[in-house]
Structure 1
Amino acid sequence: MTRPAADEAILTISGLDSYYGELQVLRQADLSVARAQVVALFGPNGHGKSTLLKAISGINPPRKGSVRFDGVDITGLASDKLVEMGLAYIPEARNIFTEMTVLENLRLGAYNRRARPRVNDNLELVFSLFPRLDERKDQMAATLSGGESRMLAVGRGLMSDAKLLLIDEPSIGLSPLMKKTVFGAINRIKKTTDISIMVVEQEVDYALAVADRIFLLKKGEVVMERGAGEIDKSEIEKAYF
C-alpha cells in the first residue's frame, strides 16, 4: 500500500473558540492531523478535549475560527454531512443500539452513500481488528461487556468508510486487558490503513505507544505540540499541573 506523505494534513484547526452557552471552553485552538497518522490529545479533565472533538464533528459548532477537513472548510457543517465526507466521531459514552445484534450495529454504521459499496470490505477489516466481534456478531449488543462495546463503537466508525476517526476516551472504564486490546486495534489501523486518528485519552502510556504526535490542551488552549517520540510520560503529567 502506498501511504500518503506524512506532512499532508487531513485536518487543520485554526483559531477555534467554542462555548457551552456563555461559558468559553476553547480559546484560539490551533492544531493539525497529518494523513495516515495518529494524534493524541492530552490534558486535565474539563479543559476542552471532548469539546474540541464535538466542535470538529459538528455537534457543538465553534463560534470563531475554522476547521478544514480533506481540503474543504467544514466549519459549522452538520454531523451527518461530515460522516458522508469521511469524518467519524466516536464518543466516550456507550453509544450502541442495545436492542440490535452486533452485526446489525455494524451494518448501521455503513448507512451513508459513500460507505454502502464497501460494506463487505469494511466488515472484513472490523472483524480482523476485533475477532471478538466476529465471534459475537449474532448476539444482542446489550450482552456485550464494556470493552466489547468500545470495540463495537470503533468498528461502527470504521464501517462508515472513515478517512478520519475522532475517538474520545477509548479506554475509560476498561480492564487493563481490554485497554491493551483496544489500543492494539488502533495501532493496527495505523499500520495497515490510510485512516487518520485523533484520540483523546487519559492513559498516557497507551496513547504514547500509538501516537505520531501529541497535543496538550490546558484551559482550552493548546500549550504543547510535540512528536510522540520526543516526549515521555513524566513531561506530560507534569504539564497537567
Structure 2
Amino acid sequence: MTDQLTPVDRAKFAAAHCAADFVQDGMRVGLGTGSTAAWLVRRLGQRVRQEGLRIIAVPTSTRTSQLAREVGINVVSLDEARWLDLTIDGADEFDAELTLIKGGGGALLQEKIVATASDQMIVITDAAKEVATLGAFPLPVEVIPFGWQASKALVEEILASVDVMGRQSSLRMNGDRPYMTDEGNYILDLALGRIGNPRQLAMVLNQVPGVVENGLFVDIADQVVIGHADGKCETRDLSSGVAEVKMSQVDLADTHNIFSDL
C-alpha cells in the first residue's frame, strides 16, 4: 500500500498518525474535513478496533461523519457533546504563528465552530502547506445564497482598503451549479496573493451583510504536526507562547493495516 502512495500522501499519513496519539481514552474529539483528516479518522478507527479506545467524536462535515461511522467511531453532534477536549484538523495554509487558511474542502463554518468549542486544536499537514505569508491559497468566504452577488461586490470593495495583493473573487462551482455547503450556503474564493494582516481581514469580512464566516483561523490553533514523506513528524507547540519542537517517526507500512481492517 505504501508504494502506491504519493510523497504528499505519505506525509499526510505520517502527520495524521502522529496526531492520533494525542487522543486519549474518554476524550471528546472534533474531527476535521479533508484528505489529511481522513487519514486521522482511519487511524482513530484502527485504535478503536484494536486498542478498545473509547472516544466521542464530533465531525465537521457529512463526509467526515460518514467515514467515522464506517470505521467504528462513536459520532455525536456538537450540541450533544457541548464542549470538546481536542479538535484535530488539516489546513490549506499555515504560517509561523499558526494562523490558518481553511475551507478548501467547503466545511470552514463547521470547522471553525468545532475548533473554537475545544480546549485545544491540533493542525495536521504536510510541509508544503507552510508559508511565510498567507494568501497564495484562495481564501474561502461562506455567504448565504440570497443576494450573494451584492455580498460579493461588498467584499471586493472592502479588499481595496486592506493589505492584500489581489482583489479578485469568484463563486465556487460544482459542475454547472454553485457549490453548496452542508448549511446550504455558497462559497466565494478570494484570490488575494498575499494577506498582510489576517486578523484585520477576518474581522472586516465578517461585517459584510450576507457573509456567514471566512476561512481565516486566527488564534485558534495551538499545535501543528507536520508530516514528511519518509515518515518523520515534526510537532510544534505554540500553546505556551514559545515554540517547542519535537520529532518522531512513523512506520509507513502501517498504511496497509489501516485499510485491511475496513
The TM tier, using the shorter chain, reads under 0.3
Question: Radius of gyration: which is bigger?
Answer: 2
Report the structure, 1 or 2, having the larger helix content.
Answer: 1
Normalised TM-score (structure 1): 0.28
